[in-house]
Amino acid sequence: MADSYQPIEGGGSLVIAWQIKNKKVLIVGGGNVAAQRIVSVKIGDAQVTLVAPSDGLHPEVRQRIEHGEVVWLDRTFQDKDVEGMDMVLTALDDHDESLRIGHLCRQQRIPVNVADVPDMCDFYFMSQHRDGPLQISVSTNGRGPKLANMIRTTMAQALPPNAGDMVYYMGELRAKVRQWEPKIDQSAKRMGWVTKVCEAWGLDGMARWTEAAAKDSTLIDTLQPYFDSNQIPTLDMVLPQV
């Protein structure tokens, strides 16, 4: 029998959304790259410790310290700093020290990212577009960061201007559906109905519905009869007539 499935192409990464809320993250270094790393992990509500001497701190890093967004150790790295950490990020100009810290973390089975050394990274930072609850990331697996940034920009420009709001209100709709039908054994109905609504309305239709829902919070509740009867309404059936 002929093969039914496409062969798997290796050489990529496992692209996941890593939940790091309240996880302990260590950043070693205080320059521009460290500033970028602080933003990336604080978006995920991590507890960040920064190790770097005061001399040479990037202005943004200094501001994050002054605003209490990170815990700052005003000195160079010490091996004990990795103890108890869930993740370590090095952002140093000292290549040899970065590699040493990377090997130290691997010995202790702590996920580590060594800036500009792909082979020593357990994970990569992707070029990211953020709009409220919407996050879109592009990875080139460490091969072309600038190209990833260009691709991400192109993708973001193709989105409806209220894409972030669209994701928010879709979450609100899903929460309502769970209220309308809370039984666990009805999860297939819930997910199936929401999926069919998205497919029927399309991205542009969802954007129009979101714009209307933002003006009238009761609009979501008007969908309950359609859900109860497992009917997929058209936009004309649910949008206010003007």
Residue 217, both tokens: 């919070």
| Residue of 98, 101, 34 lying closest to 70 (CA atoms) | 34
Question: Catalytic residue numbers?
Answer: 116
Rounded distance, CA 149 to CA 223, Å? Answer: 39
Rounded distance, CA 58 to CA 2, Å? Answer: 59
Q: Any long-range contacts for 50-59 (C-beta under 8 Å, 24+ apart)?
A: 50/26, 51/26, 51/27, 51/75, 51/76, 51/77, 51/78, 51/81, 52/28, 52/76, 56/30, 56/31, 57/30, 57/31, 58/30, 58/31, 58/32, 58/34
* Helices (runs of H) and strands (runs of E) counted in the chain: 8, 7
Which residues neighbour 22 within 8 Å (Cβ) at sequence distance 6 or greater?
Answer: 45, 46, 47
Tell me the C-alpha to C-alpha distance, in Å, between residue 114 and each of 51, 90, 118.
Answer: 15, 5, 7
Q: Could you tell me the maximum CA-CA distance found in the chain, to the nearest angstrom?
A: 67
The strand pair at 127-131 and 134-138 is best described as: antiparallel
The strand pair at 112-114 and 87-90 is best described as: parallel
Amino acid at position 169, single letter: Y
